[in-house]
């Protein structure tokens, strides 16, 4: 970090100009030159540090400290979440869960059942992976019941989207919570309160309407699923549901004890400290992974070596996400160390713009400009971190700010977003139809999520 006796001599105007140029350069490198976001974030962080006058001898320390601090929590959560998702996926648990929900809810509410399954499945699994896993189930249900594939597909894709953007252990909300000092357990709790009604209105109700408006056949892109690839002894619905809810239950116990201890209802005894440690998000996910490896692996006759390989295979795809997240934290550290964050705080204060509104708007602009929700969320969190740190916000308000920034980061998915092309391709839509359906759905998610976050902030 910079020496204690170093003081920033540049004024707010030049610092904000450097920040604008840094963001513009970042977008240019990623969008126009197609430079990998990890490399682009490191390069822009380095150039920003030099441009703002951070002492040359301290630049590397600023970069590595920001990178390491962010990864300290993010890497654990993302890695363990990916492992849990991999065990559920390969055991056949996803199909069992979806099929059971369709039977219990009835054919008329099949889109609702698939969405509920995706909400549960989307807790530990990233958007892309979860959607790919659920697609064969969505297509099979659509073929059996008839109607537009969008009727079943949009509620499913929307469920993974709201979970990915609002609820840890997904990297965006995890990194934003770390940068803004929000309690991860509280972000999980409030994130679910935001995600579930938002999904119902923007993904389920809108998806059913869009399915009637645009009647599209089930594409043959993935082919018809074969029973040969299905596990011969998949876990029961109760087992899958229990494994997915286990970390949530432990995290909720942690959050509840924290609130009761702060309020003086429960004494801060050793057993409370142990229970809270078990309910910490990384420990809760670790326990869930170990339980999943046993009940979905060893108990079903899988060899120990095969389970090890399955868990190993889960880490490769998320390595890039983890590194980009760490690099986003690095960029935020440079903005803080250089004084840019303080200048932004002053500018926002002069405009009279509440930090929660500023976070939403900045994240929206970055999302529209460069496409990645995770990059938009993490970059915005780094930009507003000094303003948040200087304010006197409660735990609920800090969580609400994280969720507001997350809402901005999901706005207006279009042609520079990989998810736009993924959804359009899998559901057999052209660009125009994808803009009319998926882009609108994502924008509705952002607007409604921001509205609920504002309510939490006002009540917090």
What one-character DSSP code corresponds to residue 452? H
Q: Would you list the domain boundaries of the chain?
A: 12-217+233-459
CA separation for the pair 405, 449 (Å, rounded): 10
Q: What is the DSSP string of 223-276?
A: ----GGGS-SSPPPHHHHHHHHHHHHHHHHHHHHHHHHHHTTSS---HHHHHHH
Residues 287 and 251: their CA atoms lie apart, in Å, by: 11
DSSP letter assigned to residue 36: -
Determine the Cα–Cα distance for residues 216 and 195; give it in Å rounded to an integer.
27
301 token code pair: 């006759």
Tokens, residue 114: 């698939």
Judge contact between 453 and 356, C-beta under 8 A. Answer: yes
148 CB contacts (<8 Å, ≥6 apart)?
142, 210, 211, 212, 214, 215, 216
CB atoms within 10 A of CB 16: 16
User: What's the CA gap between 427 and 420, in Å, rounded?
Assistant: 11
How many CA within 13 A on the CB side of residue 289?
25
Structure tokens at 32: 């126009």
Q: What is the pLDDT along the chain (460 residues), one digit of tens a residue?
A: 566 667 777 877 888 888 888 878 887 887 788 888 789 889 998 999 999 888 888 889 889 988 888 787 678 877 887 788 788 778 888 678 777 877 888 878 899 999 988 898 787 777 876 777 677 778 878 887 888 999 999 999 999 999 999 998 787 898 899 889 998 889 999 999 999 999 999 999 999 999 999 999 988 754 444 444 456 788 888 888 888 888 878 877 877 777 677 667 777 778 888 888 888 878 888 998 999 999 988 888 788 888 888 888 888 877 877 887 788 778 878 877 887 766 765 665 566 678 999 999 988 888 886 677 887 888 888 888 888 888 889 999 999 999 999 999 999 888 767 788 778 878 988 888 988 999 999 999 999 999 999 999 999 7
Joined tokens for residue 152? 């079943």
Give how far the C-alpha of residue 245 lies from the chain's centroid of Cα atoms, to the nearest Å: 18
3-class secondary structure, 67: helix
Helices 373-390 and 304-338: angle between axes, nearest 10 degrees? 50
Q: Is residue 393 helix, strand or coil?
A: coil
- DSSP letter assigned to residue 4: T
- CA-wise closest residue to 65 among 314, 330, 318, 251: 330
Integer-rounded Cα radius of gyration of the chain: 22
Q: What is d(CA 94, CA 219) in angstroms, rounded to the nearest whole number?
A: 21
């Amino acid at each position: 970090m910079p020496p204690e006796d170093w003081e920033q001599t540049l004024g707010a105007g030049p610092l904000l100009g450097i920040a604008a140029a840094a963001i513009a350069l970042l977008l240019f490198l990623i969008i126009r030159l197609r430079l990998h976001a990890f490399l682009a974030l490191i390069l822009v962080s380095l150039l920003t540090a030099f441009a703002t006058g951070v002492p040359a001898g301290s630049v590397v320390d600023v970069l590595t400290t920001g990178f390491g601090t962010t990864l300290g929590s993010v890497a654990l959560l993302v890695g363990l979440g990916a492992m849990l998702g991999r065990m559920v996926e390969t055991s056949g648990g996803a199909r069992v869960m979806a099929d059971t929900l369709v039977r219990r809810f009835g054919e008329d509410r099949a889109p609702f059942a698939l969405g509920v399954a995706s909400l549960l499945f989307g807790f530990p699994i990233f958007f892309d992976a979860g959607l790919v896993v659920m697609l064969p189930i969505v297509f099979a249900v659509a073929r059996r019941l008839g109607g537009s594939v969008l009727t079943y597909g949009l509620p499913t894709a929307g469920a993974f989207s709201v979970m990915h953007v609002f609820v840890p252990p997904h990297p965006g909300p995890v990194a934003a919570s770390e940068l803004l000092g929000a309690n991860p357990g509280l972000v999980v709790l409030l994130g679910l309160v935001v995600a579930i009604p938002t999904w119902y209105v923007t993904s389920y109700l809108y998806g059913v309407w869009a399915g009637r408006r645009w009647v599209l056949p089930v594409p043959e892109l993935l082919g018809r699923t074969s029973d040969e690839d299905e596990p011969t002894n998949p876990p029961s619905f109760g087992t899958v549901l229990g494994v997915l809810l286990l970390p949530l239950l432990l995290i909720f116990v942690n959050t509840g004890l924290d609130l009761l201890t702060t309020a003086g209802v429960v004494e801060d005894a050793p057993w409370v400290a142990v229970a809270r440690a078990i309910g910490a998000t990384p420990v809760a996910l670790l326990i869930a992974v170990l339980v999943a490896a046993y009940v979905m692996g060893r108990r079903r006759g899988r060899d120990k070596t095969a389970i090890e390989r399955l868990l190993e295979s889960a880490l490769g795809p998320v390595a890039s996400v983890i590194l980009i997240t760490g690099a986003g934290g690095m960029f935020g550290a440079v903005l803080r160390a250089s004084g840019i964050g303080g200048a932004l705080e002053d500018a926002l204060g002069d405009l009279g713009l509440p930090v929660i509104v500023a976070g939403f708007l900045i994240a929206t602009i970055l999302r529209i400009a460069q496409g990645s929700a995770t990059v938009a969320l993490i970059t915005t969190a780094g930009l507003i971190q000094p303003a948040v740190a200087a304010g006197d916000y409660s735990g609920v308000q800090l969580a609400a700010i994280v969720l507001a920034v997350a809402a901005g980061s999901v706005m207006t998915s279009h042609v520079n977003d990989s998810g736009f092309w993924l959804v359009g391709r899998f559901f057999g839509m052209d660009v125009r139809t994808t803009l009319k359906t998926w882009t609108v759905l994502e924008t509705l998610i952002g607007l409604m999520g921001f509205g609920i976050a504002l309510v939490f902030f006002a009540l917090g």
